[in-house]
Chain A
Amino acid sequence: MIELWNGLLKAVELIVTLDPEVMEIAGRSLRISVTSAILASLICVPLASIIHFRQFRGKRFLINLIQTFYSVPTVAIGLFVFVFISRAGPLGWLGLLFSPAAIVIGQMLLVTPILLGLVISALRGVDITLIDTARSLGASSFQTTLVVLREARFAVMVAIIMAFGRAISEVGISLMIGGNIRGYTRVITTAISLETSKGDLELSIALGIILISIALVVNIVLNRIQQR
């Protein structure tokens, strides 16, 4: 118990004094996960719009499938990406393994189902009369899509923030294809995992507090958005 208490005190000290290592790891985590969430959004928001607005065979099945992948294990994604980008893999020549870029790719894959699914539900939530209204005012089908996206903007933002939350809190992908290399690919979650196993609880707790604070901020922002 004493050990935990000391750890906690030390951790607060690390945060308050803006310890370079803690800040560096936290900063990297944020950079990587924000990048993943944004890049994935750039792909998923248009893709979700296409899925929502087009009528095609197997649409229901596809949406069910997307929802099934909400809870895909991070290690499964880690393994999948690893197979592709490892030296012997088809994309091995890119030399991406154990790089921040690899983590970004993995996290993008991880959040894709959540983003697609939530954006599709966001679009579904828009009053169908609004589509008629846009068309009757002379919107082309592209402009109509933009109208609907704009109308669903808060729900779409919620989807993006949820995706970010999922990305920053995962550990399997960062560990397997990031490699937890100090000063290069070490992020909050992998650092906590390593330091804890080493018995260095102070750093772990400090990073844990930061991670929870990020989660808290994300939640506050989400609540604010949902109230609008």
Chain B
Amino acid sequence: MALIETIDMWQRRDGRDILRNINLRIERGEVFALIGPTGAGKTTLLRLIDLLDEPTSGKIYFNGVDTAESPAVRLGVRRRMAFVLQKPVVFNLSVYDNIAYALRWRGMRGSKLREKVEHIIDVVGLSDYHGRNARNLSGGEVQRVAIARAIALEPEVLLLDEPTANLDPLSAARIEELISSIIRQYATTIIMATHDLLQGQRLADRVGVLMDGELLQAGSARDVFASPRNKEVAEFVGVENIIDGVITSSEDKIVTIESQGRSIEAISDYLIGEKVCACIRPEDITLSLTRISSSARNFFEGEITWLVDVGPLTRVEIQCGFPLVALVTKRSAEEMKLARGQSIFVSFKATAVHVTKLQKHKIKNMERRII
């Protein structure tokens, strides 16, 4: 049984669908990252999971219990979770009391309470701020208090909404470090929302892509990145080369995609006539100054339009009927004497091309896709 399961969950507000048909299963002990652009509905989904709001339709089960049963059930379930809001606010009390507050609600008193709070303050590295009013802390410290407050409850599920979004890079890195140590130490189920795919990749076992209120894809970060389900997801996860086209031939899964007068060969199950897009990772593209013979099925001649160094690599933009981006090491760029306006040959294997649907699949009311 999944720890949390949402079934056909919709959330409408002011006549707009904020969430559409969310069917999500979260297993106990899993770290799940909900990724998606700002305004995709991540916060709305987390609020529903934490039972702060009620869905317009659909169900949420916690450990098999229907959470819509009664307010008492909802409170009981909510007490097994803790939610760190996107812009956490602290109570106008000392750091200590901020953390002790929710434990007192659960009836914890005396030395047990004191030991617990002291320990957590230590864990999040706020020992020096003990008696300080939490209102006078910096953004990163407030985030620490908020996380401390949440983990002090030893929740079965920890919900984090953009835990590093409003912080400077250094504080963000520290918070991320804290979260990963919590993941290791407490082995709690964690659901976190982030617009940062890389953060999701670093912290989570599984990521789910939420766009425009729909859960489009879920899986390991590697899978989502390597085989995005459609063009939108591909764009969001930062696939740089997305080429629209139509399948014109298909033989033994080897398809030809026509795009702007060029043909790209790829491996795919899509049928002739389907509109697709081809995703090619920049690091899978090989550049050469002369026509070389290789096993790569795709070979084009083009012109370099732009060059820029990114760390140890050089990003090369090429126009070869369609625009392509390739990454080469700085050294090889220098050896090849790459320059703007130079003509160049690009090649990539048919297996390096991920073919995905061009158009977003519209979810209908009755359809279910469990993620």
**A140 touching B88 in the complex, CB below 8 Å, given contacts A132-B52, A135-B52:** no
B96 on interface, CB distance cutoff 8 Å:
no
Using Cβ atoms and an 8 Å threshold, which residues of chain B touch A137? 82-83, 101-102, 105, 149-150, 153
For chain B, residues 47 to 84, give those with C-beta under 8 angstroms from any C-beta of chain A.
47, 50, 52, 75, 78-79, 81-83
By size class, the interface of chain B is 20 to 34
Q: Check B88 against A133 for contact (C-beta < 8 Å).
A: yes
A225 on interface, CB distance cutoff 8 Å:
no
B91 on interface, CB distance cutoff 8 Å:
yes
Q: Tell me which of A36-44, A103-111, A143-151, A193-201 binds B.
A: A143-151
B178 on interface, CB distance cutoff 8 Å:
no
Tell me, rounded to whole Å, the shortest Cβ–Cβ distance linking A122 to chain B.
13
Using Cβ atoms and an 8 Å threshold, which residues of chain B touch A143? 105
Chain B residue nearest to A127 (CB atoms) is: B89
Chain B residue nearest to A130 (CB atoms) is: B89
Using Cβ atoms and an 8 Å threshold, which residues of chain B touch A135? 52, 78
B180 on interface, CB distance cutoff 8 Å:
no
Using Cβ atoms and an 8 Å threshold, which residues of chain A touch B337? none
Q: Report the Cα distance A132→B91, complex, angstroms.
A: 12
B87 on interface, CB distance cutoff 8 Å:
yes
Tell me, rounded to whole Å, the shortest Cβ–Cβ distance linking A152 to chain B.
9
B361 on interface, CB distance cutoff 8 Å:
no
For chain B, residues 144 to 180, give those with C-beta under 8 angstroms from any C-beta of chain A.
146, 149-150, 153, 159
Q: Would you list the 8 A-B pairs with minimal beta carbon distance, nearest first?
A: A136-B83, A138-B79, A137-B102, A129-B89, A143-B105, A130-B89, A136-B50, A139-B105
For chain B, residues 98 to 118, give those with C-beta under 8 angstroms from any C-beta of chain A.
101-102, 105-106
Q: Report the Cα distance A161→B47, complex, angstroms.
A: 39
B92 on interface, CB distance cutoff 8 Å:
yes
**A132 touching B105 in the complex, CB below 8 Å, given contacts A138-B153, A150-B91:** no
16 intermolecular pairs with C-beta atoms under 8 Å apart: A132-B47, A132-B85, A133-B85, A133-B89, A133-B91, A133-B146, A136-B52, A136-B83, A137-B83, A137-B102, A137-B149, A138-B106, A138-B153, A139-B102, A150-B91, A151-B91
Interface residue ranges, A against B (CB under 8 Å) = 127, 129-130, 132-133, 135-140, 143, 147, 150-151
Q: Report the Cα distance A127→B140, complex, angstroms.
A: 20
Given contacts A137-B82, A137-B101, 11 further A-B contacts (CB under 8 A): A129-B85, A129-B87, A130-B91, A135-B78, A136-B78, A136-B85, A138-B82, A138-B102, A138-B106, A139-B105, A143-B105
Using Cβ atoms and an 8 Å threshold, which residues of chain B touch A139? 102, 105
Q: Report the Cα distance A150→B149, complex, angstroms.
A: 18
Interface residue ranges, B against A (CB under 8 Å) = 47, 50, 52, 75, 78-79, 81-83, 85, 87-89, 91-93, 101-102, 105-106, 146, 149-150, 153, 159
Q: Check A140 against B87 for contact (C-beta < 8 Å).
A: no
Tell me, rounded to whole Å, the shortest Cβ–Cβ distance linking B124 to chain A.
16
Tell me, rounded to whole Å, the shortest Cβ–Cβ distance linking A23 to chain B.
40
Using Cβ atoms and an 8 Å threshold, which residues of chain A touch B75? 138, 140
Tell me, rounded to whole Å, the shortest Cβ–Cβ distance linking A2 to chain B.
56
Chain A residue nearest to B46 (CB atoms) is: A136
Using Cβ atoms and an 8 Å threshold, which residues of chain A touch B52? 132, 135-136
Q: Report the Cα distance A129→B43, complex, angstroms.
A: 13
Using Cβ atoms and an 8 Å threshold, which residues of chain A touch B105? 137-140, 143
Q: Check B106 against A147 for contact (C-beta < 8 Å).
A: no
Q: Report the Cα distance A167→B139, complex, angstroms.
A: 44
Using Cβ atoms and an 8 Å threshold, which residues of chain A touch B78? 135-136, 138
Q: Report the Cα distance A132→B47, complex, angstroms.
A: 9
Using Cβ atoms and an 8 Å threshold, which residues of chain B touch A127? 89
B92, B146, B153 — most chain A CB neighbours (10 Å) = B92
Using Cβ atoms and an 8 Å threshold, which residues of chain B touch A129? 85, 87, 89
Chain A residue nearest to B159 (CB atoms) is: A136
A137, A140, A143 — most chain B CB neighbours (10 Å) = A137
Chain B residue nearest to A228 (CB atoms) is: B92
Using Cβ atoms and an 8 Å threshold, which residues of chain B touch A147? 91, 101
Using Cβ atoms and an 8 Å threshold, which residues of chain B touch A136? 50, 52, 78, 81-83, 85, 159
Q: Report the Cα distance A133→B83, complex, angstroms.
A: 8
Q: Report the Cα distance A142→B200, complex, angstroms.
A: 37
Using Cβ atoms and an 8 Å threshold, which residues of chain A touch B93? 150
Using Cβ atoms and an 8 Å threshold, which residues of chain A touch B146? 133
Q: Report the Cα distance A138→B78, complex, angstroms.
A: 6
Tell me, rounded to whole Å, the shortest Cβ–Cβ distance linking A75 to chain B.
41
Chain B residue nearest to A142 (CB atoms) is: B105
Tell me, rounded to whole Å, the shortest Cβ–Cβ distance linking B357 to chain A.
37
Chain A residue nearest to B149 (CB atoms) is: A137
Chain B residue nearest to A137 (CB atoms) is: B102
Chain B residue nearest to A136 (CB atoms) is: B83
Tell me, rounded to whole Å, the shortest Cβ–Cβ distance linking B168 to chain A.
21
Q: Report the Cα distance A135→B102, complex, angstroms.
A: 10
**A151 touching B85 in the complex, CB below 8 Å, given contacts A132-B52, A138-B75:** no
Using Cβ atoms and an 8 Å threshold, which residues of chain B touch A150? 91-93
Q: Report the Cα distance A133→B92, complex, angstroms.
A: 13
